[in-house]
Chains A and B, each alone.
Chain A
Amino acid sequence: MDLMPSPEEEQIIDMARGLLSKELPVDYLRWEEGPAKAADRALLPQCAELGWIALGLSEEHGGFGFGATEEMLLFREVGRALVTPVLFASVIAARLAATLGESDLTAAIATGNATVSLAVPDAGGSGYFLIDAEGSDRILLVDHDSVTLLDPSAFSNRSAIRSLDPTVTLESAVLDSGAAGLQVGGRDAEPLFRHISLLIAAMLVGAAEAVRDLSVAHASERTQFGQKIGTFQAVSHPCADMAVRCEAALSQAKLAAVVVRDAGDDAEFQVTAARIVALDAALSNAAAAIQLHGGMGFAAEYPVHFYLKRAHLLDQVGGRIALQLDDLFALNA
């Protein structure tokens, strides 16, 4: 039993963190000309080349045969860097295509030749929201109990709307009746949903850690009343609470990753738990971080709010928090 990353796992963390902090720094300038022009899209071919999309696929599917633990650790860094959800959608779509034996499509997605964007259903209505979908070759529709990979032509009435998360573009759209795609649902979809929840939990952990680090740095530099504000317990204690939430969320994400990799009986239980604690860590830490930054936290130029908004976006993918809680309650321990 060892829940500390192995030297090989540490290498993946270092490689991802090194590349992303250099190429995709979390700075408002990255999205200043609109999310479609952000550096993310240009970096995706390099991510594909590094094997990030095919990381967890078996070698027979053109993958690298790494496990869910490596993918989880990679996506923690992806969450920290606020990489476009196109990367996440590509990883899930490649896995879906591989599961259904679509080897050409799997290869096209894994090499970055076919780009995949995410779509989520509008909980109240009949429409859908498309995320960073301009110019994508495929759309991955993630509902609460099914996942479908569609041609963009399956959607009509596409219209750009203002996005809560300013680091992505958002469109509303209608799904044409009779549109067919590659789909898994019901019990067949369970393994894919474990991956979806695991990677979402991982990205939320990265977000929770990023705002903790921004807050600690701010509290160590900012001076008021003649002292660093980190010396005030009204500031340092909320930072400590952020560290506690990060440790809980990271530990559970690591454990869930191991159980998913080893196909343990409690995989669904552990990934659902991971998703629940990670969402709380990301949202609570981001809210606390905005408060601790004072006026700076409310300014769009400062990056804390991006993490809050991304966490709300990720919550909508594959079943929002209330559904996750219902699922976890219903399971047997």
Chain B
Amino acid sequence: MNLDFTPEDDLFRQEVRAWLADNVPREVRPADGPDMKAFDLAWQKRQYDGGWAGIAWPQEYGGRGFSTIQQLIWYQEYARAGAPYVGVNFVGLLHGGPTLIANGSEEQKTSHLPRILKGEEVWCQGFSEPGSGSDLASLRTRGEIDGDHLVVNGQKIWTSFGQFADFQELLVRTDPDAPKHKGISWVICDMRSPGIRVRPIKTIAGHPEYCEVFYDDVRIPLANVVGGLNNGWRVAMSTLGFERGTGFMAEQVRLATDLEALIATVKARVDLARDTDIQRRLARLRAEVAALQAMTYSSISLNERRGAPGAEASILRLYHGLLTQRLGRMSMEILGAGSLELTDPEEGWTGPYLYSFSRTIGGGTAEIQRNIIAERVLGLPRSR
């Protein structure tokens, strides 16, 4: 076991640090609307032009072809530099894109991956439905074959950035007679297709990120099916593996930065100098955030040997979600009356605190993660 970075890695880190110091936007990221989208895409394009988009993506699709370890270095330096939240590029960069790399056809990869990296294409996710949350495989949005097209009817919910997206990773039922996991397809849906209607959902954090999407005879070319017709469940699981594992690397690094800021606040506060209760609880969080980083290192080490994230990604995701919520609640206690002012979800403390409740719901609830850990890590008998 070692924590040594190679000379190439160290050089890489220096280059990343220097570039970020010169290029991280100084203006505040707009919290909503077209200005936010424009900001996120401009920042993405700047990273691409600087040669820093798609660190671990293959070179033939515009990426840099570096290792997961170098990707981790990028995120560490990104957090250290206080660079902006990935925003509307989240789905494309952190799970749609990786899913295409693993499962897409050559045509699908060449037409989408470079555009995602250049900040020219926004993606959104269309997995959950009003009646299919934790039981995702029960989804009912239909995709009926008509010649060389699928005709889609139904409804999706919790679609991140649906109002800004150009494309969607969409799960539809293409064989209603097959067992529920075997009749699903993962398709690329053009969000400008006729018959699509998007309605934003207001959340408890005042966050504009999520939408409902309605499909009324939406025609999608069969060529947009990824990983084969009726093979969508397997493809979706690979998507969720990315979302639960490496997709949260940046936020894990960010959590440590936030906790240290909170500890520095408490150390500077005269009224908390003798509050050993708060100090000890912060110390415990500090130990656990250190452990989260160690778990990330372990997980990357395992991935380097095995090539893809496994079920342990659920352990990381669950631990991170619960830790983020505890940090949020502690920040409220420490802020005192200052906690009554609501901030944006990526700014200050109260917005992130409210947003933290989504961390044990989105991408599979804490309960679903525990099912996965029980069955696939511990080998306990299936619970359903």
Q: Which residues of A contact B (CB under 8 A)?
A: 1-6, 9, 69, 212, 216, 219-220, 228, 230-233, 236-237, 239-241, 243-244, 247-252, 254-255, 257-259, 262, 264, 269-270, 272-274, 276-277, 280, 322, 324-326, 328-329, 333
Contact = CB atoms under 8 A, between A and B. Distances in A.
19 contacts: A1-B9, A3-B3, A3-B294, A216-B380, A231-B381, A233-B371, A236-B370, A240-B318, A247-B315, A252-B294, A254-B1, A255-B290, A262-B2, A269-B290, A273-B286, A273-B287, A328-B286, A329-B283, A333-B286
B1 A9 contact: yes
Interface of B: 1-5, 9, 69, 72, 260, 263, 276, 279-280, 282-284, 286-288, 290-295, 297-298, 300-302, 304-305, 312, 315, 318-319, 367, 369-371, 373-375, 377-383
A272 B283 CA distance: 10
B202 to A, nearest CB: 31
Given A3-B1, A233-B367, A243 B291 contact: no
Given A1-B3, A1-B300, A329-B283, A252 B290 contact: yes
B380 A219 contact: yes
The main secondary structure of chain B at its interface with chain A is helix
Contacts of B290: 252, 255, 269-270, 273, 277
Nearest to B279: A329
Given A255-B3, A272-B287, A329-B283, A3 B297 contact: yes
B291 A248 contact: yes
Query: Which 7 residue pairs across A and B have the least CB separation, nearest first?
Result: A251-B294, A236-B374, A240-B373, A240-B370, A273-B287, A276-B287, A255-B294
A328 B286 CA distance: 8
A299 B304 CA distance: 44
A242 to B, nearest CB: 9
> Could you say which of B5, B9, B300, B301 has the most chain A C-beta atoms within 10 Å of its C-beta?
B301
A237 B367 contact: yes
A255 B3 CA distance: 8
> Could you say which of A216, A240, A259, A326 has the most chain B C-beta atoms within 10 Å of its C-beta?
A240
Contact of A262 (B3, B72, B279, B370): B3
Contacts of B5: 1
B287 A251 contact: no
Given A244-B319, A269-B290, A273-B291, A259 B3 contact: yes
A255 B297 contact: yes
Contacts of A247: 295, 298, 312, 315, 319
A273 B377 CA distance: 25
A68 B88 CA distance: 45
A322 B377 contact: no
B374 A2 contact: no
B265 to A, nearest CB: 13
A1 B69 contact: yes
Contact of B291 (A251, A257, A324, A333): A251
B305 A4 contact: yes
> Could you say which of A3, A239, A255, A264 has the most chain B C-beta atoms within 10 Å of its C-beta?
A3
A151 to B, nearest CB: 37
A244 B315 contact: yes
Contacts of B292: 248
A59 to B, nearest CB: 21
A274 B284 CA distance: 11
Given A236-B380, A251-B295, 19 more contacts: A1-B301, A2-B304, A69-B1, A219-B380, A236-B371, A240-B318, A240-B374, A243-B315, A248-B288, A249-B291, A252-B291, A258-B2, A262-B2, A270-B290, A273-B291, A276-B287, A325-B284, A326-B280, A328-B283
Contacts of B371: 233, 236-237, 240
Nearest to B68: A1
B358 to A, nearest CB: 19
B286 A230 contact: no
A151 B4 CA distance: 42
A258 B292 CA distance: 16
A257 B3 CA distance: 10
A9 B69 CA distance: 22
A230 B370 contact: no
A254 B298 contact: yes
A187 B247 CA distance: 42
B270 to A, nearest CB: 16
Contacts of A277: 287-288, 290-291
A273 B287 CA distance: 4
Nearest to B300: A1
B280 A258 contact: no
Contacts of A251: 291, 294-295, 297-298
Contacts of A237: 367, 370-371, 374
